[in-house]
Amino acid sequence: MKNKKYPLYDTLEEITDLKDLVLTKASDLPNKIAFVYPCETGEMRKTFSDLKEDINAFGTWMYKHKMIDKHVAVIGKNSYEWLVTFLACVNGGNVAVAIDKSLPAEEINALIRLGECDYAFVTDQYVDKIEPKVVKKVVDLGTFDTILYEGRKLLRDKHTDFLTYKIIPDKTAAILFTSGTSGKSKGVELTNHNLAFEINRTCQLFKLDGSVLAVLPFHHAFGLVVGIFMVMNYGQSIYINKSPKFVKKNMADFKPQTMFLVPMFVEFFHKQIWAEIDKKGKSNAIKGLMASTDLLLKTGVDVRKKSYAAIHKVFGGNLEYIICGGAALDPMYVKEFRSWGIEILNGYGTTECSPVTAVNRPFHHKDGSVGQLVPDTEVKVSEDGEILFRGDHVMKGYYKDEEATNAAIEDGWYHTGDLGYVDDDGFIMLTGRKKNLIILSNGENLSPEELEEDIARDPQVREVLVYDEDGKITAEIYPEEEYFDNYEYFNELKEKINNKRPMFKRIANVKLRKEEFIKNASMKIVRYLNIPSMQNNAQSSDTANK
């Protein structure tokens, strides 16, 4: 099919809320495998009917223990237990507060307080991170089977309050915390209506015909709403990856058709593939082959799966699509993966918009863009170049933070803080972050992201951050280990990049570091914790707040 506009998919019946999602799939596909996940005895498989029964038992147990209309923290590894807990909370009228398990104990407890949580359900060793008396009760999800056993007994004894609870569409269903790349985290309130609208509309853009490996953390909006709930809506099976170190094995075992990833994973896979090619001395041969197969594809002949069978094997052999979001992705990766027969559909979203606002489609895409608008939503560009969105996917607000909410949403328009434009074909192009702009002494503005993209393409660069230091543009690089002290190499790279740019956009200094940059849950580099001047300001602000 040619790359051009085509109709939306509308074969799925629209859901009204997450409870409706669970009940509908259990009714329509009772015996279809919903989740597969590793456990001590091998692999556990749960059907859509099993999922419904487990949620009902768990929710009934919660009601029996007076967990009704409460804020409930859910903390831990990606797991089936995590998802059942979250859905039992939301489907019974509680507010599920998803918290990143990897945060320091002090931050986890601060977010529990910020979310005003009454209870906390926690997996594994993370129980020890919860301070005494920060909540009324901490429930170790190691007791999951016991909770289900007791819940089922309560159901047999006619405890049906949970089953008969009626979802209130505009009531807060979940609080998900912003990643905080430039300041403190805020609690984003998403309603059942927000979530249902997002799932219904994004399912119109893409048709999922196979299984999915869930890699992204569930406390993250993209990983949860798109990587789990949207896939459930398609009625497809999900394999739960419990740790990034098992991704390669999970791909080989489960052979997914689609994966939802952030750019870090794409960049890692790309680098590993080329490293293996280089090791075999086949770089020039593969580049020549890519040119040939790209040419054949234009004539309608697709030999990519056969030509790049070794690359496909890395991903399990069936991978067709990678839906990528959460941070900027260099279009070079999109083009090279396409050459190998794997389409990367780059998109854009924010937790405040439930989260997806735009995405490229399988047969209607534009490299370098983040795609076109989600149906029934609006986009506009402010006078100063900021991208704004409006629609039923926009959050209810930041929890207990009216000032921040009013600053973010004006007349229903959510201010993203991202700069960009909408081209003549309706594709959204991002150019940088409003807060990241470097204001030069000559009055010119520079988005550091455009320099970072150029530098990051070098194979010896793992990570890079560009910022203003004493009036000079500085590029701080975390290189491959054997290049830790090779300033000559990176000064040559600096000159190579500078030669293509006007004087005011040239890099003045290069710094090398031996540790990776601090990142958030989306694997974005947290600028204010890595740039010296911003770090000092953040520390001063923290001191003042105390």
Could you state, in order of their start, the residue ranges of all structural domains in the chain?
Answer: 22-167, 258-433, 437-515
Three-point CA angle 327, 349, 541, nearest 5°: 65
Mean pLDDT for each consecutive 10-residue tract of the chain (546 residues)? Answer: 90 96 98 92 93 98 98 97 98 97 92 97 94 96 97 98 98 88 79 98 96 96 97 98 91 96 92 94 96 96 96 97 90 97 96 97 96 97 96 98 95 95 96 81 75 92 91 92 94 93 87 91 79 54 33
Q: Is the peptide bond before 38 cis (omega within 30 degrees of 0)?
A: no
Tokens of 210: 């196979």
Q: What is the pLDDT of residue 544?
A: 30
Query: Alpha carbon of 506 to those of 250, 447, 448, 450, 503: distances in Å?
Result: 43, 12, 11, 11, 5
| Class of domain 437-515 (CATH, top level) | alpha beta
Q: What is the pLDDT of residue 369?
A: 96
Strands across the sheet with 137-140, in order?
137-140, 119-122, 71-75, 95-99, 172-177, 187-191, 397-398
Half-sphere exposure of 75 (CA within 13 A, CB side): 31
Write down how long the chain is. Answer: 546
Residue 386's identity, in one-letter code, is E
Architecture of domain 22-167: 3-Layer(aba) Sandwich (3.40)
Q: What is the pLDDT of residue 345?
A: 98
Half-sphere exposure of 140 (CA within 13 A, CB side): 8
Q: What is the pLDDT of residue 526?
A: 86
Q: What is the pLDDT of residue 421?
A: 96
The dihedral formed by the CA atoms of 249, 250, 253 and 257, expressed in degrees to the nearest 10: -130
DSSP states of 156-210: HTT--TTTTPPP-TTSEEEEEE---SSS---EEEEEHHHHHHHHHHHTTT----S
Q: What is the distance of C-alpha 203 from the center of its chain?
A: 17
Q: What is the pLDDT of residue 535?
A: 55
Is there a common fold for 22-167 and 258-433? yes
Residue 397's identity, in one-letter code, is G
Q: What is the pLDDT of residue 537?
A: 43
Contacts for 375 with CB less than 8 Å, ≥ 6 apart: 8, 201, 204, 205
Q: What is the pLDDT of residue 542?
A: 37
Q: Which fold has domain 258-433?
A: Rossmann fold (3.40.50)
Q: What is the pLDDT of residue 244?
A: 87
